Chain A
Amino acid sequence: MRPALPAKQPAARTEQIILFRVSGQLFAVSSASVQEVRSVDSLGGATTELSQPGLRKVRHVLRRAGKPVYVVNGAMHFGLPAAPATLIFVLRRTRTALLIDGIEKMTTMSRLQALPKAFCHEERQWYRGLTSLEQSVVPVVAPEGFLSEEELALLDAALPQDEMSESGASEEAEWTQ
């Protein structure tokens, strides 16, 4: 008689994430949410300055697929001290790009714990949850949490007229690197 084979363990669900820093603070984002990573220097003239006094965390707009993408200062968004940003994440399925200090590393998370309910303010929009990595706890950002629908409407209204008229123009080639 052959011994019974051990039951197969279901494969743990994992997700690839990028660990990055904003003003020295460590965050994570799903790598599937990041469409592009650009250096701030490489953007050069590709951004347009934007003035929306009610929303100081957004100072620039760039264009992707004929649509405006708003550049959010990560430090201001999270209420952290200002720090020089070197990279920009263009976030997939949003109209948001995020200024960050730099990338720490790519890794895998196997468990995402929902943000405890004791956190009951804006952070509930900021984060998908928390993950534990190497005996540390890292918040996992929600790409859609950087700009609300109301904020996007405000920013659209503040776009220069020539930017607005280009919104319907043919799609640009993507800069994915």
Chain B
Amino acid sequence: MTLPMDSDTQSFVLLRLGERRFALAAKNIAELVAPTRVFRFPHQTPEIEGVILRRGRIVPVCDVAERLIGKSLKSRRLYLIALRRYAGQAEWIALPVTGECELITTEMSPASDADSPHVAGWLSHAGDVIEVLNLAGLTPGPTELLAPAAPLEAEEARP
């Protein structure tokens, strides 16, 4: 017997920032990693607190808690490595999160015009209504039009 596939069902990763939960599309998540050393150097992008080294790549750490819950995370346990799409390119960014993440499969209600740009949609899970995050509206990057899915290939500068 073949069960009918529900085309509106997607996988999401639920993450916790303080007391609140948010979701990201699972297809944009690479991994959840333990706290690691953050390397800091001078720059002018306040949302970025530094970079971490992950699998030979240098990944910027973007603390989204300030914007989403109004305060920075005091106890940070893990980094969620997510894919941030830019025009013509996609790169990994590390999002500090408070605790373990959960993978769920459910339907998403798309965002309306009244929602903030960082909201990609909404989903209902275990009695909560949870924001699905749009990283392009939440994390810094050059002013751009969001491009369609691009292959992940970090730009190499010429040594």
Enumerate chain A interface residues (CB-CB to B < 8 A). 13-15, 25-27, 78-80, 109-114, 116-123, 126, 128-130, 132, 135-139
Contacts and interface: CB of A to CB of B under 8 A. Distances in A.
Given A14-B159, A118-B141, A123 B45 contact: yes
Interface in B139-159: 139-142, 154-159
B45 A118 contact: yes
Contacts of A136: 39
22 contacts: A15-B159, A113-B57, A113-B58, A113-B154, A113-B156, A114-B157, A116-B58, A116-B59, A116-B154, A117-B89, A117-B141, A118-B84, A118-B141, A120-B140, A121-B43, A121-B45, A122-B43, A122-B44, A123-B45, A132-B53, A137-B39, A137-B51
Contacts of A111: 156, 159
Nearest to B52: A137
B157 A132 contact: no
Contacts of A123: 42-45
Contacts of A129: 157
Contacts, number: 89
Q: Which among B58, B140, B142, B154 has the highest number of chain A CB atoms within 10 Å?
A: B58
Given A111-B156, A113-B156, A114-B156, A120 B42 contact: no
Interface residues of B, number: 31
A78 B43 CA distance: 7
A129 B41 CA distance: 12
A19 B43 CA distance: 18
A119 B60 contact: yes
Contacts of B47: 118
Interface in B50-72: 51, 53, 56-60, 62
B48 interface: yes
B159 A110 contact: yes
